[in-house]
Every structure is written in C-alpha cells, then in structure tokens.
A and B are shown apart, each in its own frame.
Chain A
Amino acid sequence: MKRRSLIKAFTLSASIAAMGLSWSIQAAETIKVGILHSLSGTMAISETSLKDMALMTIEQINAKGGVNGKLLEPVVVDPASNWPLFAEKGRQLLTQDKVAVVFGCWTSVSRKSVLPVFEELNGLLFYPVQYEGEEMSPNVFYTGAAPNQQAIPAVEYLMSDDGGAAKRYFLLGTDYVYPRTTNKILRAFLHSKGVADKDIEEVYTPFGHSDYQTIVANIKKFSAGGKTAVISTVNGDSNVPFYKELANQGLKATDVPVVAFSVGEEELRGIDTKPLVGHLAAWNYFESVDNPVNSQFVADWQAYAKAKNLPGADKAVTNDPMEATYVGIHMWAQAVEKAKSTDVDKVREALAGQTFKAPSGYTLTMDKSNHHLHKPVMIGEIQDDGQFNVVWETEQPLRAQPWSPFIPGNDKRPDYAVKGN
C-alpha cells in the first residue's frame, strides 16, 4: 500500500515537473501562429480542410527544426461562418494570443470583416482563396488568384477553338460580392472582345439555393441561340444540385460547357462525376498535376489525413486553396528566416520577391510590390473519378492585377499596398 502511494506520488510529481518543463520550453521557444477558419456553419465544408492543411504544414516545418530555431505553435479559433465573429476572433488572436501571423478566411465578406482589425493592429494575414480583387492591403498577403489569374484566361479559353469557340455567355453566380464583381469584370472583358449584351445573360441565386430546374431550362433556351458557355461563380454546396440538374436534363459538356471558378476536388467529393465529364474549372493548381513536388505534397497530405484520422481520410484530396495555404505558410517562414524576426514590418519587407517551389510545378514568386503571388493558370476538365485533367495552361506564372483594368477608375490606383482601400 505504502509503496504504491509512493509510486503514485512520484509519478505525479514527475509529471508535474515534466509539464512545467514543457511549459517553460514552449513559453520561451515558440512562435505563435493563428489559424482563422470556420470549423462550423455553412463554410465549414470548405474551410475545415484549410485548417488541417495549415496544421500539417506547421508540423512539417517544426519537424525540420522550426523557424529561426523556434517551433511554431498553432492557435486555432473557430469564427463559425459568422462574419462579425471573424473580426472578433482576429482581434483576439492579435491582442490576447499575440500571434505573429494569421492564416485564414475564405469568403470575401469574412476578409472584409477582419481587414480593419489587421490594419489597426498592424497584424499580418495570409488569404489563400481566389477572389474578386479590388483590394490591396499592406497587412494582407493574397496567395489565391486575382481575376486576371483565373477568370479572364478561362474565358479566353472558351473563346478559342479548343474551348468550343463560344459566342454566347451565361454568367451564373451566387448573390454576393465575389460573383457580382467578377461578372462585372467579365462583362467588360467580353465587350472588349466584341460580344454584345444580347449574348450575355447574368443570373444570380441566393446562398444555399438548391432548385436549379428553372435556371437549367433557361440555359437550354439561351444555348439554342448559338454556341454557349456557362461561367459559374456558384459558391459552396449549391454546385451539387446545379450539376445534378444539368446531368438529369441532358445538358452535356459537348453542347454547353460549364466553367466554374469555385469548384475543386473537395467540392466534387460530394457528387457522382460521371455525367459531368468535360465540364471545366479554372484554378492555379489541380491535384492531378504531374510533378515530383506535387506527388510528395499529395502523399504527405494523404498520410497526414490518415494519421490524424480526419473524416473521409481514405478519400482525402488536395485542392487549390489548400495549395495556396501551404505555399503561404512556407513563404512566411522563409521571410521570417530572412528577416531574422517575426516583426510584421520586417517580415513584410522580406516577403517581397520571396520564391517557393510550389506543388503546381512552378516556382512561385511573391510580387515585389502588390502583395499577390505570380501564378500559373490552368483549365481542367472534370474526369469520371472526381479529378481534373489539365487541358490548357499558361506558359509561365502571371502577375496579378488586383485592380482590374476592366473596372473604370482602377487605372488611377497605385500598384502598391495602401491602407484603407
């Protein structure tokens, strides 16, 4: 009895000592990194995997000894798809947790919500998703695509012979800032290519819309007037009923191709893709891209998903925003090593011109002034296994134009980051 209690006491004290020890190590030797992605609510479907990807990347960097000899310590918060909560949680990360950098946000509205907080507190945010542009904050680095790195090349492809030489365009989107701005840019671009207004139709649906019967019927009617392509900025899981309806009403990709800007491997996991073969998506990365960096990246991710027992781990896929998250974290780590500090102003300076060999198969460069990555553009066709087959890509990475020349007044904007615009 006595011996047992002695052992107990010993273990207890040892473990307390160990805890204290590890605590002191952590307190002294780590750099805190914030992760601000919705883990519940409507956006959880897309953002959960970005959180996991960020954790995996941090784990990998730590396994190689961390940054500047210090380990990274992730601080994960859940803004619950609630836009004002993003600002609150962002403030908490910067003021209470005192993180050196935050990786997060998906929808443009959540980014707009945290932006004033990051500008006020001089924080640093890495935003990993393609978006509508019209923004360039000194406190944000944009690792997703601007419109000229996704939307415009996609439409150029649709106009080419290989893309089907479309003459009419049906712009379909969810009703919020990203689709509306993108379509405004696309309309101006189509005008510049001689497409008349009668050959452009613009339709919006509410968030979470699930009945696409009328819209598909309208697309059919519209397409009888000449070779038509649909440009879809439908966001989130509304895509599933939309594609199901397309297939059921017999609208094939050979008749009317749909090119989507928000549909990736992750979204296709919820759909039987056999009837969708040939529909297109435009991104800067696809899981199917064939190069050694990507093979390693995909294998790492699948192993990580399995090891952490993530839901659906046996079918884990990578996608463009996940790649952008991965690239963003690595670039930030490189910049911190270069600056030998996590101070935001020094890191910002060190980030300009930073390069990274990305899974997309290209060496990506952070632009010297505009806070956006130079990215290659790829058009992929949906395959029957839920993957994309790249049918067209740019010869080299393109420089981002966050201020699209197709929106009047943007020619007067400065080509460097300024607060509060």
Chain B
Amino acid sequence: MPKALQRLFLGLLLLLPLAVQAADADYFIAAKANEQARLLQDWAAQPDPARLELLSSLQQGRIAPGDTRKLRLNNRLRGLVDNALASHQLLSTDSAVRLAAARQLQKSAQPAQVAFLDRRFAGEADASVHAALALALANLQLVDSDPAVRLAAVRLLGETGDPMARTRLQTLLEPGVESTASVRTAAETSLAQVKRKLLIGELLGQAFSGLSLGSILLLAALGLAITFGLLGVINMAHGEMLMLGAYATYVVQILVQRYAPEAIAFYPLIALPVAFAVSAGVGMLLERTVIRHLYGRPLETLLATWGISLILIQTIRLLFGAQNVEVANPAWLSGGIQVLPNLVLPYSRLVIIAFALFVVVLTWLLLNRTRLGLNVRAVTQNRNMAACCGVPTGRVDMLAFGLGSGIAGLGGVALSQIGNVGPDLGQSYIIDSFLVVVLGGVGQLAGSLWAAFGLGIANKLLEPQIGAVLGKILILALIILFIQKRPQGLFALKGRVID
C-alpha cells in the first residue's frame, strides 16, 4: 500500500472513533514485524484513547477479549507495546494509572514522544505523576539543543538512584558528547550522587540476600539441630524429611486445586500442618523400627540412615516419578516490593525469613517451656538419671525424633516455594545442614541460629568477589579451619555433663 494512501486510510479511521479499534487491530495483525514496530512507535507518539483497549489486549497477548486469532509478538514488539500502552495510559483520569505509566516511560520513552510528554507534563495536576514525568522527560532532554534544558535534566537525574541514570550520565560525559562546561560539571556531580545511591542499594541487597540464604539454611538445619544436636543421631535421612515436607506441599496443592479451588491462595498454610504430620510420622516410625536399636553406635546409625535416605528417595521416585513436580507460588508469594530503584525484595524471601524466625521461636518455646521439652533436655543431658526419675526415655526419644523430623517437614514447605521439588531435593541440603549444626555447636539451638545467618551472609559477601564456585569452596575451608581450632563449635554446652 503506498504511504500516502495508507496515511489517508489511517486519517479516515481517526474520523470514525468507533471503527478505529477493530480496523487498527486488523491492520496490526496483517502487518509484518517491522511495520508493526513502526506502527507502535507512531501510536506511542500520538496516543488516541480509542486504542487503549487494543493495546492492553496486545499486552495480554491477545488481539481483543474473546478474539481467538493467534497473535505472534516477540520481545521487541512486547517492549514497544508496553511503551505505547504507557503513553496511552497517561491520558487516564486515574492518577495511579498515570503514575505507573510515567514510571514505565522513564525506562522506555523514545525521542519521538518528547512533544507528547511535554504536553502531558505541562497539564499534569498530580504532584507525584508530575515528578515522575519530569524524570521521564529528563532522560530524553539530555540531547536537547538548549544547554539550559540539558542542565536541568542532568541535575534532575542526579536526584534519582536509577541504574539507567548512571549509564546515561556516563554516556554524556564521554569525550566529545557534551561541550558546555557547566553541563559537564553538573553531570559529574550528578553521576557521583547516583553512584552513591546505587552503592547503598547494592549493599542493602547483599545484606538481604545473606539474611535470606541464612533463613533457608536455618530452616533446613533446625530439624537436624534436634535429631543430631540433641539426640546425637547422625541422621543422614534428614534431607529426605525436608523432601517429604516439600512433596506433602505438592500433594496438598493438588488436593486443594481439585476440591477447594477457592482456597488455592492459602494452600501453603494448609500444607504446614500436613507436612509436619507426614515428616514427623515417618520420623517416629524410623526411630521405633530402626534407629532405636542403634543408639550409641554412630557408624551403624550413619550407614542405616543413609540407606533409609536412599529407600525414601527411590520410593518417592516410584510414586511421583523422577521428574521434578510443579509447586506454584500463590500470588502473594510472587513478585516483590521495590524498595530502591536497584533493590527489589521478593515477597517469598521476606515471608521465608519471617517463617524461619517463627519456627525458631516455636521450637525454643517447645524445648524450654513444655513438659516434653524438659524431658528431652533431661534425657540428652543424662539418660540414666532421667530414667531413674521416671522419664520414659524411649517415648521421649521417639517424640523428640518426631519433632526434629516434623520441623524438617516445615522447612520442606518453605523450600518448595523457592526451589525445586524433586526426589533429590534433600541431597542438596544435607551437607549445608550438617555444616550449620556442627559450626553452631552440637546441642544448641542458638548456635544453629547464629551459624545459619553467619554462613548465609559470609557466602553472599564472598560470592560477588570470587564467584559462586570458589565462594563455596572457601567457606568450606574456613569452616574446617574453625572446627580444627574450636571443635565444640560456636556455642558449647555449658555444664559438667557432656559425656
């Protein structure tokens, strides 16, 4: 179609706002990718409210609600659709929509949109949208012909902590790009400002990843802190208790989906007691049938529990298959909260940190404030004396082992939300769990807490410097050295009764 005719055609369409929607859609579908890209750029520069519906459908990957024709978009077109849609949304009457649109335009606006943005900027009444638009404009005004406009833009960019601002300012400062001295000086100041803000975001980010990794290590190790730490059973099947918890979550997810789809958002909460019960049940069964015959024989316990772990893995493989199963995050555990321009805190990780602390408190209360806890502590400290005082040691052993396994099951629920759920899940956590318990000091809950967070943060501080592979090796070497120097771990059990 000749260009003029096409323009006329489009012009005519503008006269018929009702027909615009359908005609635009048809034209868009029929066009080749390059033409589609050009069309989207044109639309972004000259928004028309009638196209809003088409663009939001396109963003959803459809042509129109109910239209079943196949739409083929690629990433480049998707980016342009986002940008064009944001342009259109600036015309919205809802200031929240306009704000989101202005934020999108800060990332994606093209020079052709300057005139339109200028108009919206002048007419914007809402203060926060106004500020966001100013920034979106500033990005584009760095190449304005008027030095005064450029100067204002550079100053504005200095006030953001946006990673893109750094690149833009750096480009501006490259030799031969900016000639006006005052703008250059301002750009240098702004760049330093931006870099400082980015650094803060990065450090906070690292601290958060450390905490998050620590909380995961803690959840994985807490059950072991009881079975190994308190009972002294070298429990190689501990990882499989985590795995059982994760599979319990999977089964609960499926059941909830089938029988109570309206409650699907809360399935992880339903999964918690189920996972606890399953893991604790299996744990107690193992204790009764295998482990209690092996008390005081660490080597045999180690081999027997290792064998059990293999049996459990293969059983799960037979029941659910070798492939990983899909445990979907409910909406409230997906995505994250944007704290700084370069720092997003994922909800799932925030929840897991809180959950880890909750489980620690729960365990602590159970061990220190209940009759069962008292019995467990009595049996660990001096089995014979406890038995003499009428503590049913066999039953306490069983319950304590069940408790440790059950807590591992709870850890499994949390792990299912961030990683893989497969038969081998436990294998990847067992070594870390032992590291945490041994480093923290056997027989101490507080030790495990400090060791988990310490390892998490140390790992995350080392990783960016020397990479994930070397970091892991270095951490292991450091722990070995530490244990050589201090075999009892960070926190040693005080008192006279250590066998």
Contact = CB atoms under 8 A, between A and B. Distances in A.
Most B CB contacts (10 A, CB to CB) among A206, A210, A213, A271 go to: A213
A270 B213 contact: no
B128 interface: no
A48 B460 contact: no
Contact of B74 (A162, A214, A250): A162
A277 B72 CA distance: 12
A40 interface: yes
Given A269-B323, A270-B326, A278-B78, A249 B317 contact: no
B324 interface: yes
A215 B334 contact: no
Contact of A217 (B72, B79, B205, B472): B205
B467 interface: yes
A84 to B, nearest CB: 19
A214 B344 contact: no
A293 B347 CA distance: 45
B166 A224 contact: yes
A55 to B, nearest CB: 15
Contact of B323 (A312, A389, A391): A312
B221 to A, nearest CB: 15
Contacts of A244: 329, 348, 418-419
A309 to B, nearest CB: 11
**Most chain-B Cβ atoms within 10 A of its Cβ — which of A220, A270, A310?**
A270
Interface in B197-218: 202, 205-206, 208-209, 212-213, 216
B420 A221 contact: no
B422 A270 contact: yes
Nearest to A47: B322
Interface string B233-257: 0000000000000000000000000
A74 interface: no
A205 B468 contact: yes
Interface in A305-352: 310-312
Contact residues on A (Cβ < 8 Å of other chain), bracket: 35 or more
A15 to B, nearest CB: 29
A354 B421 CA distance: 42
A163 B78 CA distance: 11
Nearest to B162: A224
A248 B422 CA distance: 21
A245 interface: yes
A389 B72 contact: yes
B346 A249 contact: yes
B228 to A, nearest CB: 22
A221 B342 contact: yes
A44 interface: yes
A204 B468 contact: yes
Among A39, A241, A248, A269, which residue has the most Cβ atoms of chain B within 10 A? A248
B472 A206 contact: yes
Nearest to A226: B167
A272 interface: yes
A269 B314 contact: no
Contact of A250 (B213, B335, B459): B335
Contacts of B418: 210, 241, 244
B468 A237 contact: no
A42 B424 contact: yes
A275 interface: yes
Contacts of A278: 74-75, 78
A225 B75 contact: no
A206 B420 contact: no
A367 interface: no
Nearest to A270: B324
Which applies to chain A's interface (DSSP): helix, strand, loop or mixed? loop
B76 interface: yes
A206 B468 contact: yes
Given A204-B469, A237-B324, A310-B321, A254 B314 contact: no
A266 B321 CA distance: 13
B323 A270 contact: yes
B428 interface: yes
A42 B425 CA distance: 10
B468 A225 contact: no
A257 interface: yes
Nearest to A268: B326
Contacts of A40: 314, 317, 322
Interface in A34-80: 39-42, 44-45, 48-49
Nearest to A257: B75
A389 B463 CA distance: 36
Specify which of A39, A44, A247 lies most central, judged by the most chain B CB atoms within 10 Å of its CB: A44
Nearest to B79: A254
A153 B342 CA distance: 32
B464 interface: yes
A175 B472 CA distance: 13
B420 A270 contact: yes
A269 B72 contact: no
A381 B61 CA distance: 13
Interface in A171-229: 175, 203-206, 208-211, 213-215, 217-218, 220-221, 224-226
Interface string B438-460: 00000000000000000000011
Determine which residue in B164, B344, B420, B463 has the highest number of CB atoms from chain A within 10 A of its CB, and name it.
Answer: B420
Contacts of B422: 45, 237, 270
B342 A45 contact: no
Contacts of B326: 269-272
A240 B323 CA distance: 12
A381 B74 contact: yes
B14 interface: no
B468 A215 contact: yes
B167 A224 contact: yes
B487 interface: no
Contacts of A220: 163, 342
Interface in A261-285: 266, 269-272, 275, 277-278
B75 A254 contact: yes
Given A204-B467, A220-B163, A44 B472 contact: no
Contacts of A214: 206, 209, 460, 463-464, 468
Given A221-B342, A241-B420, A311-B322, A163 B206 contact: no
Interface string B455-484: 000011001100111001000000000000
Nearest to B320: A311
Given A249-B344, A391-B72, A45 B213 contact: no
B75 A211 contact: no
A353 interface: no
Those 5 A-B pairs whose CB atoms lie nearest each other, nearest first = A311-B321, A224-B163, A270-B324, A248-B346, A213-B209
Interface of B: 33-34, 37, 61, 72, 74-76, 78-79, 82, 107, 163-164, 166-167, 202, 205-206, 208-209, 212-213, 216, 314, 317, 319-326, 328-329, 334-336, 338, 342, 344, 346-349, 418-424, 428, 459-460, 463-464, 467-469, 472
5 contacts: A40-B317, A203-B468, A217-B206, A250-B338, A312-B323
Interface of A: 39-42, 44-45, 48-49, 161-165, 175, 203-206, 208-211, 213-215, 217-218, 220-221, 224-226, 237, 240-241, 244-245, 247-250, 253-255, 257, 266, 269-272, 275, 277-278, 310-312, 381, 384, 389, 391
